[in-house]
């Protein structure tokens, strides 16, 4: 089945972006501390805009859009979402104009991903919707307006079709990782990823097709734990349909760590502790929402699953968001009488709308 999966994936349209294969790196000091081999799959080194897992995904989603005749990309999310920033970067690399719909309800500042988007000269439409469903609808309205102007715009985030293509990308990513593990003589390992959705779904699909003893565990970020199992299975089924493959994948195959409770877009003490631990041990930086939380869950798992089998951590990127969470990460407090740097702090009370306060940001 692995060869058939690889052949079907190879037939899919791929945009020529990113640097692949991404490296698999042994973490010597973490290995020593945990008493077993620890490897990082460095998806954060995919080569564009401080990169991350979405570059691999965009090989498929941007490739599919271009194959359908797209001449403009649209993406949306919260202000510090990694996916829109990486869509913008891929658009730049391919010479395809990109417009973003960014929600400011969880905070706004010219930092992190928003700073990168500004440097790339991307047109941003600011909204305050407060949910991914509403952000998707705002993106679809933008696609409609662009269509009426004669543009062939394609939405590259937040839709079920994009989720299915994302799962394809990480089925392909799993085959790449499995080949690297096999080359290193590793056939029995536990693999961890900060996802309770399409990225984990693709890895699971790849693992089931590959066979053997490579087990994949997902950790949904805070706020996205509810319904994660169903989202994963739906993405697996949709990806298999795109490939015209049949492969039994059921609820019992899904391994989700943690409960994913809390508020999406916020960081929590366990994640902060994990970020600091990895930074001090290896000089590798994790992000506050996805990889920091996933590392915290992997460390918890390792405490209760003793042994010497290797642990493989999929570093999906997101490091740029660190710069927008400085106070949460190191407890900075603004001295009395010093103006706040942020217009609207993450989780804060100030709900000032920023559209008129920042150059280069277009309201919609």
Q: For residues 200 and 346, what is the distance between their CA atoms, to the nearest angstrom? A: 27
pLDDT of 349 reads 40
Pairing of strands 38-42, 72-78: unpaired
36-87 pLDDT, tens per residue?
A: 999 999 999 999 988 799 999 999 999 999 999 999 999 999 998 999 999 9
pLDDT of 332 reads 59
Residues 6+ apart with CB under 8 A from 239: 164, 165, 167, 168, 171, 201, 202, 205
142-152 pLDDT, tens per residue?
A: 999 999 999 99
**Cα separation values, 325 from 134, 165, 260, 289, Å:** 25, 30, 19, 10
Cβ neighbourhood burial of 184 (10 Å; 0-12, 13-18, 19+)? middle
3-state secondary structure of 191: strand
Residue 348 banded pLDDT, cuts 50, 70, 90? very low
Residues 6+ apart with CB under 8 A from 314: 40, 41, 43, 53, 177, 191, 192, 193, 194, 199, 203, 294
Placement of tokens 């989700």 in the chain: 256
pLDDT of 337 reads 52
Does residue 358 register a pLDDT over 80? no
Q: Vertex 154, ends 150 and 160: CA angle to 5°?
A: 145
Question: What's the mean per-residue pLDDT of the chain?
Answer: 91
Does residue 131 register a pLDDT over 70? yes
Residue 35 banded pLDDT, cuts 50, 70, 90? very high
Confidence (pTM): 0.90
Does residue 321 register a pLDDT over 90? no
Does residue 346 register a pLDDT over 70? no
Residue 112 banded pLDDT, cuts 50, 70, 90? confident
Closest by Cα among 255, 91, 260, 234 to 167: 234
Average of per-residue pLDDT across 204-208: 98
37-46, 190-199, 303-312, 315-324: range with lowest mean pLDDT: 315-324
Average of per-residue pLDDT across 265-277: 94
Cβ neighbourhood burial of 61 (10 Å; 0-12, 13-18, 19+)? buried
Residue 12 banded pLDDT, cuts 50, 70, 90? very high
With residue 170 as reference, give the H or E element that holds it. helix 160-183
């Amino acid at each position: 089945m692995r060869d058939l999966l690889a052949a079907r994936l190879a037939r899919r349209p791929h945009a020529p972006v990113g640097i692949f294969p991404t490296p698999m790196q042994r973490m010597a000091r973490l290995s020593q501390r945990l008493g077993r081999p620890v490897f990082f799959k460095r998806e954060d080194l995919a080569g564009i805009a401080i990169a991350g897992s979405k570059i691999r995904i965009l090989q498929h989603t941007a490739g599919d859009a271009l194959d359908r005749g797209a001449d403009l990309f649209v993406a949306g999310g919260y202000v510090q979402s990694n996916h829109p920033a990486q869509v913008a970067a891929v658009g730049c690399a391919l010479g395809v104009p990109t417009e973003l719909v960014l929600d400011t309800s969880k905070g706004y500042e010219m930092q992190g991903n928003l700073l990168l988007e500004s440097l790339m000269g991307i047109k941003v439409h600011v909204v305050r919707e407060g949910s991914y469903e509403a952000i998707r609808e705002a993106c679809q309205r933008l696609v409609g307006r662009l269509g009426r102007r004669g543009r062939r715009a394609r939405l590259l985030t937040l839709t079920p079709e994009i989720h299915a293509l994302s799962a394809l990308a990480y089925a392909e990513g799993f085959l790449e990782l499995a080949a690297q593990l096999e080359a290193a003589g590793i056939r029995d390992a536990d693999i961890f990823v900060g996802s309770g959705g399409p990225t984990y779904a693709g890895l699971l699909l790849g693992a089931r097709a590959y066979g053997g003893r490579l087990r994949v565990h997902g950790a949904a970020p805070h706020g996205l734990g509810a319904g994660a199992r169903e989202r994963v299975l739906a993405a697996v089924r949709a990806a298999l349909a795109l490939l015209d493959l049949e492969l039994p994948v059921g609820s019992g195959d899904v391994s989700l760590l943690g409960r994913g409770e809390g508020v999406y877009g916020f960081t929590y003490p366990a994640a902060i502790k994990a970020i600091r631990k990895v930074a001090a041990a290896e000089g590798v930086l994790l992000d506050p929402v996805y990889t920091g939380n996933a590392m915290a869950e992997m460390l918890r798992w390792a405490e209760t699953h003793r042994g010497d089998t290797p642990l493989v951590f999929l570093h999906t990127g997101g490091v740029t968001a660190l710069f927008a969470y400085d106070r949460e990460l190191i407890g900075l407090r603004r001295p009395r009488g010093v103006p706040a740097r942020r217009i609207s702090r993450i989780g804060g009370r100030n709900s000032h709308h920023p559209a008129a306060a920042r150059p280069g940001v277009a309201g919609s």
